[in-house]
Amino acid sequence: MDMLGSIPEAAMWDDVEHGSYAADLEVWSELAAGRDPVLDLGCGAGRVALHLAREGHEVWAMDDEEDLVEALDDRAGSSGLAVRTVVGDVRDFDLERSFGLVAAPMQLVQLMRGEQERFAMLSAVRRHLEPGGLFAAAVMDPPLIWGDAEEGSLPDVREREGWVCSSLPLGVRPDGPELVIERLRQTVSPSGELTERRHETRLDVLEPERLEAEAVACGLVTVDRLPISATEEHVGSLVVVMEASGE
């Protein structure tokens, strides 16, 4: 486990790049109303899971990075919140439990590499839905525009325990069927030592219509699309809402 002081490095970068994002929280709250328990897939350090737990929901949360799940456990415990966490692969999981809502925020479905991986994830989700339960997945809308970041773009910055971490967007480029989002990550230690490296996030290009068509083969049918407005730091999204087809 890579650490920045007592902080797992993965949790710090999750906070820097995603922790302040709140434009979608109202959508997840609306979808979760009356649909406990809720499963947050790709939960990271708990941005959505903790929000829903604060609202009184029964929340389960899954991520494949143990450091992030441990950070979520610590945050839930220190806040007196009950969140059931699982280290697992969203493409192949069996929680022996069904859910009223399975949520996939922050373009999780676009982190799946190709239709085969999405099919595996959608199939696992379908197996975990209660009758009348919903699966809701955020996808980019509109797709990102290729090119370098605008001159004068500001980094996302967090300071904890004397460590200062910043993440500066550099641009977006196409690479076959993927979007490559490039950032410059810089870390300043309490003693003033600067380290930096480039970081890439790869997302499949995925239109809502394509996701909806793929979901049909897994027994899911689209019942709604909910927009999330763009912010200065993040592009807009569409949350595709699906339920079991009953077949």
Q: Which residues have CB under 8 Å from 77's CB, separation 6+? A: none
How much is the pLDDT for 236? 79
Note if the pTM is more than 0.95: no
**Overall fold of domain 147-203:** N-terminal domain of TfIIb (2.20.25)
Domain ranges of the chain: 3-143+206-244, 147-203
Assigned architecture for domain 3-143+206-244: 3-Layer(aba) Sandwich (3.40)
Q: What is the pLDDT of residue 154?
A: 84
The pLDDT value given to residue 197: 96
Alpha-helix residue ranges (DSSP H) falling in the chain: 9-14, 25-32, 47-54, 66-79, 108-111, 114-127, 208-216
The single-letter code of the amino acid at 3 is M
pLDDT at 6: 85
Gyration radius of the chain over CA positions? 18
Q: What is the pLDDT of residue 25?
A: 97
pLDDT along the chain (247 residues), means of 10: 84 93 96 98 97 98 96 95 97 96 96 96 97 95 64 85 94 89 95 96 93 96 93 82 82
* Cβ pair 153, 167 in contact under 8 A: no
* Residue 127: CA count within 13 A, CB half-sphere: 14
